[in-house]
Amino acid sequence: MTRKYFGTDGIRGKVGESPVTPEFILKLGWAVGKVLPGSTCGKVLIGKDTRISGYMFESALQAGLSAAGVEIGLLGPMPTPGIAYLTRTFHACAGIVISASHNPYYDNGIKFFSAEGTKLPDEVEHAIEAELDKPLKCNESVALGKAIRISDAAGRYIEFCKSTFPSHRSLRGLKLVLDCANGATYHIAPAVFQELGAEVVVLGDQPDGLNINKGCGSTHPTWLQKNVLLQKADLGIAFDGDGDRLIMVDHQGNVVDGDELLFIIAMDRWRQGTLNGGVVGTQMSNLGLEHALGRKTIPFLRAAVGDRYVMEKLLGENWILGGESSGHIICLDRTTTGDGIVSALQVLAAMVHAEKSLQEMREGMTKYPQVLLNIKLKNHVDVLADPRVKTAVEMAEQELADAGRILLRPSGTEPLIRVMVEGQDAGQVETVAQELADVVTTALQA
């Protein structure tokens, strides 16, 4: 079935524009409450990142859920993976996240977790969409849901994060710079790394509702790079606005992306005999990762772009480790969803165990040059079916042969067509990517 509102990661858009409006979010809360198993549901937890519209949508969701008779637990600002964890530990029937992840403050969205701390099954999303088409009917006053604010949510999640780091090791002697993106990790991440013994310098921990992801965080690493060098730190860690992804910076200021972090974690698990299978990447994962794992005979599979597809393939293969180039890494031997803090701790545990720097840990994987161009999509034209685009792709693939890859795909979260080209020759990659982008742009203008 085609989804009307849900994308690959919940519902997302510009605040004030359909469907991200107070009226719709209120009805969404009601629809979720009607689809969940009624009086046996227990609580639904609501958490949010730090963007200003979170207050408005928290209230709207609370009203809708209450109208449907569901009890509510309010977590306040909390990383997305923290909401997944608390949904499990509170035995809630669902967790709701108000966040637009790495997007600017003027966007927002709603994501859901099941009682197990995983993404909602497709059939549940379809049922919610069907309920949204019905008129909202409020319960009688005696059957309205109540709401409580959970005051110790942050402390519970901090302790969980620390528990994913080996108890017999510590971070003493390491100096870290953290960039919290003025987002949901601002009051969580510093405590986790400090309590494990690291010396911590913190950036991006002054959210004002408007500065989330603004020139900071995992999508804007320059600030972190400068401060790692300035502070003479061992490494830097940058999270995105809702804390489910990260990138790192080594002591020389070089960015270490999600593919390289996935490689480091995979090799540490492989050496310890705990990898239990292979690794799942995506269509965007660098060919260098696949080749590096292949040299150790570690299986590697590609999923469609999006953490839900990485998760599906992990569960289908009964593997534990997967991720995306963006830094969204899933360690199913530690938690149920992508978690920036937990993933960072796995990298640090590997470093401490090997007694090597981050720069040394990434050796063994050579990234191929990769160019990613984003082309704005003004309407819902299936440009990938255009004969001119198909022909251009075929010719480019013949030119690269076995030394590269091409991927054209629509973004799952923004009105963009993404053109990705990678190969061994940087100049050739750049030329091919620009030629393809020009053909796509021409097709869109037709």
- Interval 299-358: pLDDT, tens: 999 999 888 899 999 999 999 999 999 999 999 999 999 999 999 999 999 999 999 999
pLDDT for residue 51: 98
For β-strands 300-303 and 321-323, DSSP reports them as unpaired
Q: Please report, as a single letter, which amino acid is at residue 302.
A: R
CA distance 332 to 91: 19
Overall average pLDDT of the 383-394 stretch: 88
CA distance 405 to 131: 43
pLDDT at residue 97 tops 60: yes
**Domain range annotation of the chain:** 11-151, 157-254, 256-340+349-361, 370-445
pLDDT for residue 1: 56
Overall average pLDDT of the 24-37 stretch: 93
pLDDT for residue 403: 77
CATH code for the structural domain at 370-445:
3.30.310.50
| Catalytic center residues | 101
pLDDT for residue 413: 65
Residue 246, Ramachandran bin (φ over 0: left; ψ between -120 and 50: alpha; else beta): beta
pLDDT for residue 380: 66
pLDDT for residue 404: 86
pLDDT at residue 376 tops 90: no
Determine what percent of the chain is predicted with pLDDT higher than 90.
83
For β-strands 329-331 and 321-323, DSSP reports them as antiparallel
pLDDT at residue 359 tops 60: yes
Among 118, 261, 238, which residue's Cα sits nearest to residue 183? 238
Q: Do domains 157-254 and 370-445 have the same CATH topology?
A: no
Which DSSP letter does residue 382 get?
-
- For 213-249, what is each residue's pLDDT tens digit? 999 999 999 999 999 999 999 999 999 999 999 999 9
CA distance 188 to 97: 16
| Gyration radius from the chain CA atoms | 22
Architecture field, domain 11-151: 3-Layer(aba) Sandwich (3.40)
Three-state secondary structure call for residue 110: strand
pLDDT for residue 130: 94
* pLDDT band at residue 140 using 50, 70 and 90 as cut-offs: very high
Overall average pLDDT of the 164-190 stretch: 98
Q: Please report, as a single letter, which amino acid is at residue 71.
A: E
Among 205, 202, 200, which residue's Cα sits nearest to residue 176? 200
Burial profile 387-425: b = 16 or more Cβ within 10 angstroms, e = fewer: eebeebbeebeeebeeebbbbbeeebbeeebbbbbbbee
pLDDT for residue 212: 98
Say which range, 163-167, 326-330, 389-393, has the weakest mean pLDDT: 389-393
Predicted TM-score of the model (pTM): 0.91
Overall average pLDDT of the 368-394 stretch: 86
Overall average pLDDT of the 137-164 stretch: 97
Sequence-distant (6+) residues with CB within 8 A of 103 are 12, 109, 213, 241, 413, 414
Asked if CATH classification 3.40.120.10 holds for the domain at 256-340+349-361, the reply, yes or no, is yes
pLDDT for residue 9: 81
Superfamily of domain 157-254: Alpha-D-Glucose-1,6-Bisphosphate, subunit A, domain 3 (3.40.120.10)
